[in-house]
Amino acid sequence: MALDAPCRDTVALGPLGQSLGFVLRLAQLTAYDDFFAVTDSLRFKPGEFSVLWVISLNPGIRQSQLGQRLMIKRAHMTKLIRQLEQRGLLTRRIPDSDRRAIELTLTPAGQSAAKAVSSVLFAGEPKPEGGLSDSERKTLLALLQKYVGLPAA
Amino acid sequence: MALDAPCRDTVALGPLGQSLGFVLRLAQLTAYDDFFAVTDSLRFKPGEFSVLWVISLNPGIRQSQLGQRLMIKRAHMTKLIRQLEQRGLLTRRIPDSDRRAIELTLTPAGQSAAKAVSSVLFAGEPKPEGGLSDSERKTLLALLQKYVGLPAA
DNA sequence: TATTGTTATACTCTATAACTATA
DNA sequence: TATAGTTATAGAGTATAACAATA
């Protein structure tokens, strides 16, 4: 408390406050808090969950595809996958068609974990989410999707 | 090359693609690339520049205020400030009114550095910035500002 | 007691490059 | 030669807790 609330708003930002990159960083920190506020005790970080989730939707997906879609670098992807494998959440398989590649599939444990997190994370969706109205949230999302080149679905 | 462009879009994301947190992460990575595409050889990272810039607009600001506004934790702020001080870009002063606090001011070198980066970063603003039109960019920005509780200026 | 800043530790994410094995 | 994945190292950024000095 005594967070000195007025102080925050009296700090001049100038054009920095109009900078997309800067505001995006603040927004991501806010969203990060929202994520943990919802998943809370579930033992996943955002990155881990997104990997788990996308594998559950795309069984047999290869690491490289996963990394490209999630914008996770290959070196980091290796660590992520290894950890999730050690936790018994997924299995790795080398296909005969291309023995360099690795196909990823969730174990039953991984599937139920993905389900558990997604059910609270994607539930209803009227989560904290700042003070945005439903239509504002939709507009924001659509613009962000366009910005990052995601199909607006 | 052979980035397998079709692959990226054939990966199913489900409701994850509608998740604000997830899309914000992609957006921040995109913006990060934009930052370096513009500042390029300038020797600053986004965090360092934002600190430098805000001090230049608020001479004598205290570390705690700076951290609150920029959402940078105190432990990390200490490192950032120390580094910028070692590079001769700012000075730290302990005010008599509260000898726990530290007031920050840019050196002439720091001021010209802030000016140099800001002039390219805030110039015109029609930077890469995805495929967003000018009005889309404004809307996106306004919604993000509302989301993070920034005065829409 | 509470606050400001510091130090130390650890973990996540990223960046890079060298390496292997396959193609 | 190019690609898929691995390993190793380094650096940002963050989280946490313990600490000193000051209020």
B44 touches chain A (CB under 8 A): no
Q: What pLDDT score was predicted for residue B9?
A: 64
Q: pLDDT grade, residue A4 (50/70/90)?
A: very low
DSSP one-letter code for A73: -
**Residue A39 and residue A33 in contact, taking contact as beta carbons nearer than 8 Å:** no
How far off is chain A from B145, nearest CA to CA, in Å? Answer: 7
Question: B138 CA, C3 C1': separation in Å?
Answer: 39
Residue B126 touches partner A, C-beta closer than 8 Å: no
- pLDDT-based confidence at residue A41 (cuts at 50, 70, 90): low
Residue in chain A closest to B8 (alpha carbons) equals A69
- Put simply, whether A6 touches B (Cβ < 8 Å) is no
Spatial contact of B143 and A132, defined as CB atoms under 8 Å apart: yes
What does the pLDDT read at residue A2?
36
Q: Looking at per-residue confidence, does A6 or B94 come out higher?
A: B94
- Nearest-by-Cβ selection for A61 from B11, B15, B148: B11
Whole-number Å distance, CA A54 to C1' C21?
27
Residue A101 CB in 7 A reach of strand D: yes
Give the whole-number percent of chain A exceeding pLDDT 70.
88
Contact between residue A68 and residue B3 where contact means Cβ atoms under 8 Å apart? yes
Pick among A9, A25, A121 to test the B interface (most B CBs inside 10 A): A25
Separation between Cα atoms, residue A69 and residue A130, nearest integer Å: 27
Across the range A52-61, mean pLDDT stands at 95
> Strand D closer than 7 Å to the CB of B98?
yes
Residues of chain A above pLDDT 90, percent: 53
The answer to which of A77-81, A130-134, B32-36, B80-84 has the lowest mean pLDDT is A130-134
Selected residue with higher pLDDT from B58 and A46: B58
Q: Give B96-141 pLDDT, tens digit per residue.
A: 999 999 999 999 999 999 999 899 888 765 555 567 888 998 999 8
| pLDDT mean across residues, chain A | 85
Q: With 80 as the cut, is the pLDDT of residue A152 above it?
A: no
pLDDT digits (tens, 9 = 90+) for A128-143: 556 788 899 899 989 9
Report whether pLDDT(B1) > 50: no
pLDDT at site B6: 40
Question: Which nucleotide across the nucleic acid strands is nearest to B29, CA versus C1'?
Answer: C14
Spacing of B97 CA from D23 C1' in Å: 10
Say which range, A20-24, A90-94, B35-39, B76-80, has the weakest mean pLDDT.
B35-39
* pLDDT tens readout for residues B2-54: 334 344 567 899 888 888 889 999 999 888 888 888 877 678 889 999 999 99
Whole-number Å distance between alpha carbons of A42 and A152: 29
Question: Quick one: residue A145, left, alpha or beta (phi over 0 = left, psi -120 to 50 = alpha)?
Answer: alpha
> How far is CA B111 from each of CA A4, A130, B45, B94, B118, rounded to the nearest angstrom?
28, 35, 16, 21, 10
Helix (H, G, I), strand (E, B) or coil at B13: coil
Residues B55-81 have a mean pLDDT of 95
Enumerate the residues of chain B whose CB falls inside 8 A of the CB of residue A17.
145, 150-151, 153
Strand, helix or coil for residue A41 = coil
